[in-house]
Amino acid sequence: MQFQAESRAGAKGAEFEHLLADALRRGGWRIIREPRLDDVQPDLVFARGDQVFIVGLKRSSEGRRDRLVPLISQAILQAQASARNRPGRVVPVAIVAARRIAASVADEIKRFAVEHAPDVAVGVMDAEGFRAFWGHGLEELNSARKNFASRASSPRPSAHLFSDLNQWMLKVLLSEHVPESLLSAPRGPYRNASQLAQAASVSVMSAFRFLRELSREDFIEEQNGLLRVVRIEPLLERWVAANQRVVAEYPARWILPSGENQLYSAVRAYASKVSVAVNPKSRRSQVSRSAARLCIGLFAAADVLGVGFVHGVPPHLYVERVDDEVLRELGLSLQDAEHRADVYLRIPQYDASLFRGAVERDGLPVADILQVWLDVSNFPARGRAQADVIRKEILGPLIAEVRSN
């Protein structure tokens, strides 16, 4: 199967965030995901040791000075606002990105930042590998422009194969091999990107790019006119590796403890309120602004799905955000919970893939089996043992069925 090559129109959206995150990881920095605070959301949070950096990143279709200087000003204000909303000492980082940025323009941005915001670390980056940072030790991220003299004959660098929506579409492609009770996703088969996009409720372009990347990595083929996932075992290994990132996690305690199944009761009650808030007359379900999506995760989810193996670990609850209203509705508190947590609240890194694939068991939203396998595979305390059980009981038959097609 072949996909028409897309013109090099430049990196867009989250691609620059992925490029920066990859450079940070290679340099030994930690990537941190955090909940939204007061409607101020940083584009990226990273750390080394006890030093935390808050990023505001702005993108432009052109690398001209008159476009980038106003954008760096906006990025500075965004980074400073995000930093003020985080406790402790943090460093605001303002970045502008474009398809190509000349060194002279980068110097102009540096002079502007030094003059108007000397306390803010500043950087520029482009789609051709050029990175220039100034301040707070970030100069080690600097990178010279790659040689693109022969780029017309060179393959386009692979996009992020395991982005949020791509992970969701991968679940959709694999769903025909997974029982509906373990994964909430439309079932195929699919002949092209348009059919996959319609089923997964994503744009055709998103589906097209995803299938193109799978094809480039030899993970999908066309068999009898249908799209089929192949080389499933290396694909799963890559998927697990792509999820080895720091997750924002908060220990919490019950305000009024009431028994062993308190978490399930609280989540059911909260989920029922969210379902009542859904507008049945709207084509796209709209929940109230205050409602936050949630679902049981990790080992507790494995128990609910009938494949639990590890016991004695405090349950994990995925929550779209952690704020006073959500905590109050659930009956939880973050105070004095560090050393005696009843529940661990997790902010999902890939919320679309997580919540779209979640299943419902007797009114209880639970992470799907593929998500549970991904999460416990990267969990230090006996996570591998639980992952091996899921692989044997669920993924083993899935792998065998994919191979036989």
Tell me, yes or no, whether 262 and 385 share the same domain: yes
Query: What pLDDT shows up at residue 290?
Result: 58
pLDDT, tens digit, for every residue of 343-385? 999 999 899 999 999 999 999 999 999 999 999 998 876 888 9
The residues facing 346 across adjacent strands are: 249, 318
Mean pLDDT of 97-105: 88
Question: Do residues 337 and 301 both lie within one domain?
Answer: yes
Q: Which residue has the higher pLDDT, 367 or 38?
A: 367
The rounded distance, in Å, linking the Cα atoms of 186 and 200 is 7
Q: State the average pLDDT over residues 208-218.
A: 90
At residue 278, does pLDDT exceed 90? Answer: no
Judgement on whether residues 228 and 196 belong to the same structural domain of the protein: yes
In contact, 243 and 171? CB cutoff 8 Å: no
* β-pairing verdict for 249-254 and 332-333: antiparallel
Strand arrangement, sheet containing 121-126: 30-32, 44-48, 51-59, 90-98, 121-126, 131-134
Q: What is the pLDDT of residues 309-326, one digit of tens each?
A: 888 888 999 999 888 888
Same domain assignment for residues 230 and 112: no
**85 lies in a domain?**
yes
120-129, 213-222, 283-292, 353-362: which range is least confident on average? 283-292
DSSP letters along 141-165, please?
Answer: G-BPPP--TTTTTSPPPP--TT-HH
Are 279 and 227 part of one and the same domain?
Answer: no
Rounded CA-CA distance 228/220 in Å is: 6
Q: Is the pLDDT of residue 66 over 90?
A: no
Q: Please compute the mean of the pLDDT values over residues 131-147 and round it to a whole number.
A: 85
Same domain, 32 and 83: yes
What is the number of other CB atoms lying within 10 angstroms of the CB of residue 136? 15
Mean pLDDT of 104-133: 90
Is residue 70, in this structure, part of any structural domain at all? yes
* Chain length of the chain: 405
> Does residue 147 fall inside a structural domain?
no
Predicted confidence at residue 10, as pLDDT, reads 31
pLDDT for res 267? 94
**Residue matched to tokens 């030994």:** 28
pLDDT at 276 over 70: no
Map residue 92 onto helix, strand or coil: strand
Residue 2 lies in a domain: no
Query: Is the per-residue pLDDT at 287 higher than 70?
Result: no
Q: Which of 126, 141, 156 is the last residue of a domain?
A: 141
Residues 95 and 169 reside in one and the same domain: no
Quick one: angle between helices 204-216 and 193-200, nearest 10?
120
Query: Is the per-residue pLDDT at 102 higher than 60?
Result: yes
* Alpha carbon of residue 218 to chain centroid: 23
Res. 132: pLDDT tops 90: yes
Q: How confident is the model at residue 14 (pLDDT cuts 50, 70, 90)?
A: low
Query: What CATH number has the domain bearing residue 184?
Result: 1.10.10.10
- pLDDT tops 80 at residue 107: yes
Which pLDDT score is estimated for 192?
92
Average pLDDT value for residue range 326-344: 89
Whether 405 maps to a domain, the answer reads no
Classify residue 244 by its DSSP letter.
-
- In this predicted model, which residue has the larger pLDDT, 181 or 36? 181
What pLDDT does residue 253 have? 93
**Quick one: 238 and 258 in the same domain?**
no
Same domain membership, residue 364 and residue 258 = yes
Whether pLDDT at 232 is above 70? yes
Q: Supply the range of the domain harboring residue 290.
A: 249-393
* pLDDT attached to residue 246: 65
CB neighbours (10 Å) of residue 373?
A: 24
Mean pLDDT, range 159-165, rounded to an integer:
83
What pLDDT does 44 receive? 86
Asked whether residue 404 is assigned to any structural domain, the reply reads: no
- The answer to the question of residue 39 being in a domain is yes
Question: Same structural domain for residues 370 and 262?
Answer: yes
Range name among 62-66, 146-150, 253-257 with the lowest pLDDT average: 146-150
In a domain, 379, yes or no: yes
Average pLDDT over residues 134-144: 88
What's the mean pLDDT when you consider all of the chain?
A: 83
In the listed set 205, 223, 243, which residue is the last one of a domain according to the structure? 243
Does 193 lie in the same domain as 92? no
pTM for this model (two decimals)? 0.60
The residue-averaged pLDDT of 29-45 equals 67
**Is the domain of 304 the same as that of 221?**
no
Domain with residue 40: its CATH number is 3.40.1350
Question: Among the three residues 141, 175, 191, which one is the final residue of a domain in this structure?
Answer: 141
- DSSP SS3 for 317: strand
Q: 157 or 141, which is more confident?
A: 141
Q: What is the mean pLDDT of the segment spanning 29-50? A: 71
pLDDT greater at residue 343 or residue 246:
343
pLDDT of 279 = 41
Count of domains for the chain? 3
- The predicted-structure confidence for 144-158, as pLDDT tens digits, reads as follows 876 543 333 333 434
pLDDT at site 75 = 93
